[in-house]
Amino acid sequence: MSLNLIMLGPPGAGKGTQAERLARSRGIPKISTGDMLRAAVHDGTEVGKRARAIMDRGELVSDDVMIGLVRERLDRPDAASGFILDGFPRTVAQATALDEIMNGRDPLIVIDIVVPEAELVRRLSTRLICDDCGANAELGGVASAAERAVLANAGNSPDAAQAGPMRCRRCGGRLVQRTDDGVDVVRERLKVYRANTKPLVDFYCGRPTFRSIDGAQAPDRVAADLAAAVAAAGNGSLG
């Protein structure tokens, strides 16, 4: 049975980190909408051309274009044995279309990573990214636990200021704060998530392959709970 997994959760819940980690351990692709858009535009596919025209006009990419991108991506050979979707679906319309795409495949497993809003605001407003490769400082291998402690107090510690800029462990680039990670912007992003994306939980929660896990834990604990939830949801799909 292949692992076909959707990761749900608000910004800052750790979806990308956990999806990347699980995908490596299972030997299946982690597929994100951002990656798909960039690849389709670069490759000049039919859907990529449509997406580029929309983005060049400064407009948001529509559901039908995103659905087309996902359909193309899931038809590739490396996704035949499973995949992890991060960032798709974002709307109930996209979820409905994904169900149609999945006809004839093993069931979708849906994991919702739940984190209290106060913790999400703390994480996002203190998060740094690499100015060169774009990796989050919270990603495994980018910053140690001790360095993350310094991160959480950035701007409040004389020692941190004297130490100079922190460096990405992946490529050595300088770590900087994302422009959309200010507290007010973070709260607005979470508001948008609740309004537009959280209805997906209502769409999926009645399925035997749906599980929620506590994302307000140490990354290794979340990873263990994620693996257990995937196993339980997989058994539920056979029931």
Instruction: State pLDDT tens for residues 133-162.
Output: 766 665 433 444 445 455 445 444 444 444
Instruction: State pLDDT tens for residues 203-217.
Output: 999 999 999 999 999
168 has a pLDDT exceeding 60: yes
State whether residue 156 is helix, strand or coil.
coil
Active site residue 178: yes
Active site residue 123: no
Percent composition of the chain: helix, strand, coil (DSSP 3-state, to 5):
50, 15, 35
**Of residues 26, 30, 73, 127, which has the active-site annotation?**
127
State whether residue 140 is helix, strand or coil.
coil
Can you tell me the distance from the alpha carbon of 88 to that of 68, in angstroms, rounded to the nearest whole number? 12
Active site residue 221: no
Instruction: State pLDDT tens for residues 63-101.
Output: 888 898 899 889 999 999 999 998 899 889 999 999 999
**Of residues 90, 105, 174, 198, which has the active-site annotation?**
90
Tokens 């460096």 belong to which residue?
Answer: 167
Residue spans of alpha helices (H) in 153-218: 158-163, 183-196, 199-204
**Of residues 178, 187, 198, 207, which has the active-site annotation?**
178
Active site residue 174: no
Which range, of 51-60, 140-149, 166-175, 176-185, averages the lowest pLDDT?
Answer: 140-149
171 has a pLDDT exceeding 70: yes
Q: Which helix (H) or strand (E) holds 31?
A: strand 30-32
Q: Which helix (H) or strand (E) holds 113?
A: strand 108-114
Q: Residue 239: pLDDT band by 50, 70, 90 thresholds?
A: low
Cβ contacts of residue 85 below 8 Å, gap of 6+? 5, 6, 7, 31, 32, 70
Active site residue 57: no
CATH 3.40.50.300 for domain 3-115+197-238, yes or no, is: yes
CB 109 within 8 A of CB 237: yes
Print burial letters for 125-153: b (CB count within 10 Å at least 16), e (below 16): bbbbbbeeeebbbbbeebbeeebeebbee
Going from the C-alpha of 219 to that of each of 39, 106, 145, 179, the distances in angstroms are: 29, 28, 11, 25
